[in-house]
Structure 1
Amino acid sequence: MTTTTHPTTTERPGETNGVPTAKMFGAIAKFTDNAELAQFRFSAKNSWVDGTASTSTIHEWYGIGADQLHVQEFQFSSDHPTLGHGYGPTPQEYVLHALASCITAGIATGAAARGIKLNRATSTVTGNIDVRGVLGVDQDVRKGFSGIEVSFDVDADADEDQIDALIASATKYSAVFDMLTGPTQVTVGRTEA
């Protein structure tokens, strides 16, 4: 698994909370003027490792009208605690991470857009699942999470109402929140030879 170290947040010219605000507002203007530039495609390549473990590689993506590459290739391993060998978190835990990190990014960019200094944003996200559904023990039990709770602790140079508004806005515009709360068409098939 790729481990990335993150520098501590230091203000660089033209950035608020580490967010390049001119670039962010410029992108919004471009996407407003040209909807084709706003069409993004993300992908992950996954390979089975052993037992219930697999590794996904994320590097290539499409956006702003062209094929793109992340600064580096990222690898994530996943496994299951009772049937696996401990190669990584469960796929369900990655979903929780995706939700928390997507909303957190929205808090950071929302604060930057409003000129609010963000000092700290942490969260705990918890999902409840009855694995009888996944294992086929009971066909009436849902296979996915029955509920997810996200609890944020945000310290910012803002009052409580402004912080609540940041969290609400970040949740409203979170792509992962939308994927989890609204239907998404998913097609599963085989790669053609």
Structure 2
Amino acid sequence: MTDTNISLRDIQAPLKQQYRDDPESAVITLSADGELGAGVACKVSTGQAMAEAGLHPATGGDGTQLCSGDMLLEALVACAGVTLRAVATALELEVAGAVRAEGDLDFRGTLGVAKDAPVGFRAIRLSFDVDIRDGDAPAAEDKVATLVKLTERYCVVLQTIQGSATTSVAVNPAA
């Protein structure tokens, strides 16, 4: 058992108990904020810095701004990587390596060139290139399968993409 395992369990134990005792306390609204920038851009507060998103070069951008499609894949990689590490910690496994997400877009849909072309990703692939160890030995196949299954189950961004969360859009005119 690693120090990370002990501290993660110690940190999460009271939270898990609180959420069992009071399920409503587990429902938290996350938010993201942005400001419309100059030209075709939006500045998004990341909590660490401002990130400026703009058009992808395939839609007329010059590549100097972030693409929101790339940001979605980055969010998936971040969430999947953190979830994999948390699950591995709970299973007392050690993992090292990399996480990658790729997505296929048909920009004809985004640009309104072809009505039959979808707007958005038509396929997303998430992959882990990792070394999974159980002590000094490579992890057994059944432990690896459990790690993957639980990572898929508990990755918030992956589950949101796969489940297509109910969404709404509102425009609030400035006063």
Q: Does the alignment reach a TM-score above 0.5?
A: yes
Cα distance in 1, alignment partners of residues 170 and 80 from structure 2: 31
Cα distance in 2, alignment partners of residues 149 and 26 from structure 1: 35
Report the equivalent of 2:70. 93
Report the equivalent of 2:29. 41
Is residue 154–residue 163 contact of structure 1 (8 Å, CA) maintained in 2?
no
- Tell me the number of residue pairs that the alignment of Structure 1 and Structure 2 aligns: 166
CA positional deviation for 1:121: 3.5
Matches within 5 A, 1:16-31: 16=5, 20-31=8-19
Q: Partner amino acid for 1:123?
A: V
Cα distance in 2, alignment partners of residues 121 and 35 from structure 1: 35
User: Hey, which bits of structure 1, 4+ residues long, moved more than 4 A?
Assistant: none
TM-score (norm 2): 0.84
Q: CA RMSD in A?
A: 2.1
SS at match of 1:190: coil
Is residue 46–residue 56 contact of structure 1 (8 Å, CA) maintained in 2?
yes
CA positional deviation for 1:98: 1.2
Cα distance in 2, alignment partners of residues 104 and 127 from structure 1: 17
Say if 2:78 is the partner of 1:84. Answer: no
Is residue 129–residue 145 contact of structure 1 (8 Å, CA) maintained in 2?
yes
Gaps of 5+ in 2: 134-138
TM-score (norm 1): 0.77
- CA deviation profile, 1:108-155 (whole Å, cap 9, x unmatched): 11111122223x141221100101111111112110101011111122
Cα distance in 1, alignment partners of residues 49 and 64 from structure 2: 16
Is residue 51–residue 66 contact of structure 2 (8 Å, CA) maintained in 1?
no
Gaps of 5+ in 1: 1-10, 60-72
Report the equivalent of 2:89. 112
